[in-house]
Amino acid sequence: MKSVQDYIRTIPDFPHAGIMFRDVTTLFADARGFRMAIDQMLHPYAGIKIDKVVGLEARGFIMGGAIAHQLSIGFVPIRKMGKLPGKTISQKYQLEYGEATMEIHDDAVTAGERVLVVDDLLATGGTAEAGIKLLEKLGAEIVSTSFIIDLPELGGRKRLEAMGIDVQTLCSFEGT
């Protein structure tokens, strides 16, 4: 029987030499693989109250929408700066070479709402940390974070856990 990891394609030297890009589009394109990933991402939260699913741009939107649908709850996107049309709040974070900014609508969640944050890959944890900080500014309670892939050597899990955040992943790959 195939595992989620079996559906993920590795593309060497993308986007730069020495990077092993973990491509989840092959997982999304396979109905069984995609269903397996969504079911496994939902499993740890059986019986736990979640008010909204929050997806981090961009692949987090794909899983987040499917998870929100399965839970019959709302979905909230956290996007790169300048992509949301309404009033937003923003959070800067560090990239390997430079800085980026994430945004959320200022009315996307209300204080006390319990949210699940999802994305495809946990690397350094910078994007997830920025998303969590935005949600905390709005008063949301982070139930957990859920990722398909963990790259443990890059330290994202440790970074989020040091913030007191629960981290769930479906598989991991060594290297970058």
Domains by residue range for the chain, with CATH: 49-172 (3.40.50.2020)
Specify the amino acid at residue 47: G
Residue 175 pLDDT class (50, 70, 90 cuts): confident
What distance in Å separates the CA atoms of residue 96 and residue 147, rounded to the nearest whole number?
20
Q: Which residues are catalytic?
A: 59, 96
Q: With contact defined as beta carbons under 8 Å apart, do 50 and 71 qualify?
A: yes
What distance in Å separates the CA atoms of residue 142 and residue 116, rounded to the nearest whole number?
6
Sheet holding 141-150, edge to edge: 88-95, 98-105, 74-80, 52-56, 114-122, 141-150, 167-172
Residue 176 pLDDT class (50, 70, 90 cuts): low
Instruction: Give the model confidence (pLDDT) of 45-59 as tens digits.
Output: 999 999 999 999 999
Length of the chain equals: 176
What b-and-e string marks burial along 141-171, b requiring 16 or more CB atoms within 10 Å of the CB? ebbbbbbbbbbeebebbebbeebebebbbbb
Instruction: Give the model confidence (pLDDT) of 116-154 as tens digits.
Output: 999 999 999 999 999 999 999 999 999 999 999 999 999
What distance in Å separates the CA atoms of residue 113 and residue 51, rounded to the nearest whole number?
6
